[in-house]
Structure 1
Amino acid sequence: DIMMEAHTNGIALVITCVQEHAEFYCEGLRGKGLTSTIEPTE
């Protein structure tokens, strides 16, 4: 579902978590060649 949302909309929310975990996941995605950013929740 996340892949299709990103494909269709050009962006998708993958996970909401604490900063430390977000940094870990972000680096993992980037390591696989994907664009990944960390943004605060609203």
Structure 2
Amino acid sequence: MLRKKVAFMTMVIIKTYEEVLKGIRVLADQTPLIKMKISG
């Protein structure tokens, strides 16, 4: 029972981590545009 819960939590954490990484990558792609808008 406990092992199943741990496995599930691990999966959730990994999925969340992947989503966060995706979000950071998107933000990193958009940052140059933001900087250009600020300086321009």
Which category of TM-score, normalised to the shorter sequence, fits these structures?
Answer: 0.3 to 0.5
Q: Greater CA radius of gyration, 1 or 2? A: 2
TM-score by length of 2: 0.39
Point out which structure has higher relative CO (alpha carbons under 8 A, 6+ apart). Answer: 1
Larger helix percent: 2
TM-score by length of 1: 0.37
